[in-house]
Structures are given as C-alpha cells and as structure tokens.
Amino acid sequence: MAHIQYSITDLYSQEPLERLLYISSATYGNDWISMFHSHSFAELFYVLDGQGHFCTESEEVPIERDSLILINPNIRHTEKSSVTHPLTYIVLGIDNLHFQFSGTEYGAYRVHDFYKHRDACLPIMQMMLDEARGRRTSSELICHHFLSILLLKILRISGDQFTPYSSKNIPGECETLKYYIDTHYQENITLDKLAEVSHLNKFYLSHLFNHAFGISPITYLLERRILHSKELLKSTDFSITQIAHTTGFSSANYFSQSFKRYTGLPPASYRKNHQDT
C-alpha cells in the first residue's frame, strides 16, 4: 500500500481580521433603482448571469456572466443592468479589508473575467449562501471560514493582494467608538452620547472618526442599522414598525425614509424583491 504524506508548515500565525458582514443574491427587476452609494467596507460581486455596467462617478465598465468585481471601501458606485439580459449576481460585504490591485499603487476597484475560474470560486459562494439562508448551527463560523478560502483563491488567480484592516494606525478612541456603535446601534445613540462614551468633544471626535474610517460616526451608525434591517426584511415577517424599533430608528417613518435614501427602495419593495432570493 502506498502512503504519501504532505507536510503543511506555512500556516497563519493569527486569525484573519476580515469579517463577513453579509452575503446575498439579487436579480434585476423593473423596480431596480440604480443610484450611487458607498460603504465603509469592501464589496465583492460575482455576476451569475446577464449583462450591464459597473459604474463609478467617472467610469462605466461592461460586466457580464462570470465578471468578478472587487470594490474598496468608501468608493461611490452603482450597477446598471441590461433590460433584455438582466443582471443576476452574488454580493458579499466584507469589513476590515482593503484590496491592493496588481499593477497599481492604489485602486478603487477591479473587474476580473473569471470565466475560466468559475468552478474554483462560485461553488464556495453558493455554499456560503446556503449556510446564510439556513441559519443552522455554526453557519456563521462556516461562512467566515469559506470567506478566507474564497479570498485566498481569488488572490492566487488574480495576483491581487488583500490588506487586512490594521488598528495600529487608528486612535484608540476611534476603535472604542466603532466597537460601541457595532454593539449598541439598536439603542438611542446621539453624537452627544458618543462624546460621553469617548470623553471627547463631539466635533473633535467626528473629525477623528472620519479621518480614521472615512465616514462620520453618525453615518456609520445609520449604515449598521440599515444592514441589520436588510437582514430582518429578508429573513423575518416583522412589520416595518417592529423592524424600525428593533434596529434603533426613532419611528417607522424615519426608518422608511432613511432606508429608501440609502438603498433606493422603500422597505416593503426591498422585502418583496428578496423573498425568493
């Protein structure tokens, strides 16, 4: 009997810092509203089918089946779909990550053709979607492990690099504030409350936070609430009022206005679009 053993010695010395915020699938419909937006986290799109354009404020790049789009944090962008060949794609939101694209010192985004590599990456994303939808025991942990594998596969294929978010250049006060918002965003948080938590002047803390993360603390707070509300709209039958209360909005009206301004759709339309995705 032949026995071959492979020794694996080049292991991580620490856990990856990148964190999966969400994974979802979307399909273009008549009520799709294309509007420019940005996030404080990176995004990864994989086009399953259809044709369209990935747009920044200065460029429009054609995308189609098996296009992989990597987008750095704080980049204003949107997607435009062909009406005759509507876009269907998987999208991941990834915190604590910055893409370094090969051949450039800095890049806002990169579009790759992954036609030849579809079988290497797409099954991983589909397993992540299955875990996220099922919400079974350890699903979140499994998704995060799949994310690490997916990023390493993309790195190997594309030649791009990934820089994990590093706290060494971020003031401790900003780290404290970000963690506080991440864990208390469902509560009634104001700039005065954040100033009390951080023991800083509220105008100075806004400047400090914006310089560290590229987004104001109040906008970051709104972003966290919107992200949570998206998940509740997709995975529960809670009323709009219940979701508004659960995610920290002062009223259903304010929630609906904020949600539409951020996503381009009212909450009810967003829920309808994602009930079967």
Predicted confidence at residue 111, as pLDDT, reads: 95
Residue type, 199: H
If you ran DSSP here, which 8-state letter would residue 84 be given?
A: S
Report pLDDT for 105.
Answer: 47
pLDDT at site 15: 58
Give a three-class secondary structure readout of 175-230. Answer: HHHHHHHHHHCCCCCCHHHHHHHHCCCHHHHHHHHHHHHCCCHHHHHHHHHHHHHH
Helix (H) or strand (E) holding 259, with range, is helix 252-263
CA distance 155 to 145: 16
Q: How far apart are CA 34 and CA 51, in angstroms?
A: 15
Give the model's pLDDT for residue 9: 53
Kindly give the confidence (pLDDT) of every residue in the chain, 277 residues in length, as a single tens digit, with 9 standing for 90 and above: 566 665 555 545 555 678 898 998 888 876 666 777 777 788 999 999 999 999 987 889 999 999 999 998 878 888 999 989 999 999 999 988 888 886 654 578 999 999 999 999 999 999 999 998 888 899 999 999 999 999 999 999 998 887 765 544 667 788 788 888 988 999 999 999 999 888 889 998 998 888 877 788 999 899 889 989 988 998 889 999 999 999 999 999 999 999 998 888 899 998 888 765 5
Q: What is the pTM of this model?
A: 0.69
DSSP-based three-state secondary structure for 124: helix
Let me know the angle formed at the C-alpha of 131 by 266 and 31, rounded to the nearest 5 degrees.
20
In one letter, which amino acid is 226?
I
Tally of CB atoms within 10 A around 193: 14
Asked if 72 contacts 42 with a C-beta cutoff of 8 angstroms, the reply is: yes
Q: What is the pLDDT of residue 45?
A: 95
pLDDT at res. 215: 84
Q: Which residue has the tokens 């509560």?
A: 187
Q: Which two tokens stand for residue 83?
A: 């009406």
Give the helix/strand (H/E) hosting 129.
helix 118-134
**Token pair belonging to 274:** 């994602």
Alpha-carbon separation of residue 48 from 32, 86, 109, 263 (angstroms): 17, 10, 19, 21
